[in-house]
Chain A
Amino acid sequence: MLFIKRQFPLVVCFVVGVAVAVQYYIPHRISQDFIEGLSHWEIIIAAFAFFLGLVSVTQVHVAKLRRRSPGWGFSLFFFGGILIGVITGFLSRGKQITEAGAITSFGWMYNNMLNPLQGTMFCLLGFYIVSAAYRAFKVRSLQAGVLLAVAVIFIFSRVPLGQYLWEATIGGFFPWQLHQMVEWVMNTPAKAAGRGILIGVSLGAVATSVKIIAGIERQYMGGKD
């Protein structure tokens, strides 16, 4: 039993990890089919795991309702939402548009409820960027000053009015045009820094993979022994 719980997952991890790594160097159709089969398995396992998630989220909300925790009314919305979603999904056979082109109740919910809610959340980003930028652009050090200067150039370059104002006022003092400066910042220092991060990330990812495949790092299966 201990073998099934401890050693067997390590063996599976090692065999599959090595196989997937080796597969990258084998272009044969068998190799392609193998990786495709693995991805199918992943989808199947994820589908089963979704039930785990459903159980988890149900337990959380049932506990909230039972304890009458603050905000327990939202849990009612959760169960109501699931119920309505499942019923409309079944009635619409999982389709948003019928073959005749008419919108189903499921599609109506998606277009008129979920989409606007998602859009609202996304729009909050605009406000948060402003408040975050306000904190970031406080000139408290030399680095923050450089950040502010580059940010001002970027803001001017991205807005037509900014471009006009730049050219009409201080643009003449610079030997380069506004868009040239922005392109240089993006293509030279920003790209160099980004690539540096990516190289580090890649090496870190390979090292972590080696640890897991070799069974050195086994926390993910809940223990060391």
Chain B
Amino acid sequence: MKPWNLLPLILTASLAAAPAFAAKASKAAPAAEDPAMTVRPVTGLKALDMPYDAGEGILVRWDVMPHDEYAAVYVVELSSVSAAGPWVKAKEVRSDQGTVAELGFPFWARPKAGQRAVEVKPLDLFSNDSDAAKARVSKAEYFVRVRATNGRQVADSEVVTGRAESDWFSMPRLNNLIFTLVFCGIVLWFISHARKKDLFLRRIPGLDAVEDAIGRATEMGRPIYFLTGRLDIDSISTIAASLILGEIAKRIAQYDTQLKVPHTYAMTMAVCQEITKQAYSEAGRPDAYREDINFFITEDQFAYTAAVNGMMVREKPAACFYMGYYYAESLLLTEVGASVGAIQIAGSDSEHQLPFFFITCDYTLIGEELYAAGAYLSRNPVLVGTLRGQDVGKAFVMLSIFFGVAFATLGVLIGREGWVTTMLEIFKSY
């Protein structure tokens, strides 16, 4: 085919494509007279209380505007004085921002879509961080306006007023509340049923070895060390450790072995003194209890470690128990314990320190076993019931993970990612 024979074809194609090109060009750089391009004041402006907060935020909403597709910018301004200003810039959003999804609420607590939604915090603008100023700012009424601009034109909205108020229920945390109530209900149900029949308990080798460790210490005539971790009694892992101390102290009292519990917090020491005293009493050996079983060393991490290490080297304990939460001192303590030949049993929910315990200790209770240890050692049916409740909770989590993965994979395969996002919101923390 000769090249000039293609000329009519090219011309025809060019003519057909011209309107499409023109439309695209006008969108990228619209003509000044295009009415859609003219920036107008936003309509439907409302300043509402930001839901589910402590009275810190105002939710500013306005209609989606026709000029949004031409890259408009909205500046939300606040005044604490009057409708005439002075105005303080609170937030700037592009026309593709300010959706209700950006507020970070789950689907059951999300405000209605259809309007822009932007949160502004007067506290950040008008408070000097003092409590009095915060209280004043959170009670005051504010004037709000939205300035729309595209860089060349500016249009101010009408002025509306709004107030930030405290709310009494956090709806986004509803999922958490339901899960917590259901789990607590399950635990309490199993506790009530545990009184009626014996429940099977899986063996925990680390706790079965407690008797051996105490027996060894008794035969060797050496002390037993029990450490409750690096956190104070307000930590749940320290509470769990102190409950284990009670059960172990009962056995130690029966064998008449020396127990030493060095503490890093005085409050924990006071609680452990009560626990140990009661344990000796329940074991029928109140006479063997001494006030100096529990003693305070220091709150300083490494000074405490050095002191305990020194005592270990001098007294060469036959058994060491490390229960509770630990930081860097875990290896320093357990390595010295191993060097003096002590049987070492650790139990911690500090996942970063568990590898050190695995290496240096004879037995390690991993995570939740720390919380199960008290019930396991006491064999108290009521306490054992809570373990079954935990098992049901774990089964629920495992099933959720299994079906969640299957559902998420299916959602992606059939192109319904929205379902996946919605499902994940149910399990998310807010």
Contacts and interface: CB of A to CB of B under 8 A. Distances in A.
B382 A205 contact: no
B332 A27 contact: no
Contact of A216 (B176, B237, B383): B383
Given A197-B351, A198-B351, 11 more contacts: A52-B296, A74-B310, A118-B301, A122-B302, A125-B332, A131-B335, A132-B356, A135-B359, A203-B393, A203-B394, A204-B349
Interface of B: 52-55, 135, 138, 166-170, 173, 176-177, 180, 183-184, 187-188, 191, 232-234, 236-237, 239-240, 242-243, 246, 263, 265-267, 269-271, 274-275, 277-278, 291-292, 294-303, 305-306, 310, 314, 328, 331-332, 335, 349, 351, 354, 356, 358-360, 366-368, 370-372, 374, 382-383, 386-387, 389-390, 393-394, 397
Contacts of A52: 266-267, 269-270, 296
Interface stretch (A54-62, A94-102, A157-165, A166-174): A54-62
B359 A222 contact: no
Nearest to A52: B266
A112 to B, nearest CB: 16
A30 interface: yes
B400 to A, nearest CB: 10
B292 A220 contact: no
Interface string A81-122: 000000000000000000000000000000000100110011
Most chain B CB neighbours (cut-off 10 Å) among A27, A118, A209, A217 = A27
A49 B263 CA distance: 12
A200 B351 CA distance: 11
Q: Top 8 closest A-B pairs, CB basis?
A: A53-B266, A204-B371, A222-B274, A200-B368, A53-B296, A121-B302, A204-B368, A56-B296
Interface in A210-225: 210-212, 214, 216-217, 219-223
A54 B240 CA distance: 25
Nearest to A26: B168
A82 to B, nearest CB: 11
A139 interface: no
Interface of A: 21, 24-32, 42, 45-46, 49-54, 56-57, 59-60, 63, 70-71, 74, 114, 117-118, 121-122, 124-125, 128-129, 131-133, 135-136, 194, 197-201, 203-212, 214, 216-217, 219-223
Contacts of A209: 236
A27 B53 contact: yes
Given A27-B166, A46-B267, A209-B236, A128 B173 contact: no
A199 B367 CA distance: 9
A36 to B, nearest CB: 9
Contacts of A21: 180
B335 A219 contact: no
A212 B239 contact: yes
A144 B278 CA distance: 43
A214 B189 CA distance: 13
A208 B236 contact: yes
A132 B332 CA distance: 10
B204 to A, nearest CB: 13
Given A27-B53, A122-B328, A201 B368 contact: yes
A42 B269 CA distance: 16
A219 B243 contact: yes
A30 B295 contact: no
A219 B246 contact: yes
B275 A220 contact: yes
Most chain B CB neighbours (cut-off 10 Å) among A51, A124, A201 = A201
7 contacts: A27-B168, A49-B265, A53-B299, A117-B303, A132-B360, A203-B368, A216-B382
Contacts of B135: 29
A212 B303 CA distance: 32
A25 B335 contact: no
Nearest to B387: A207
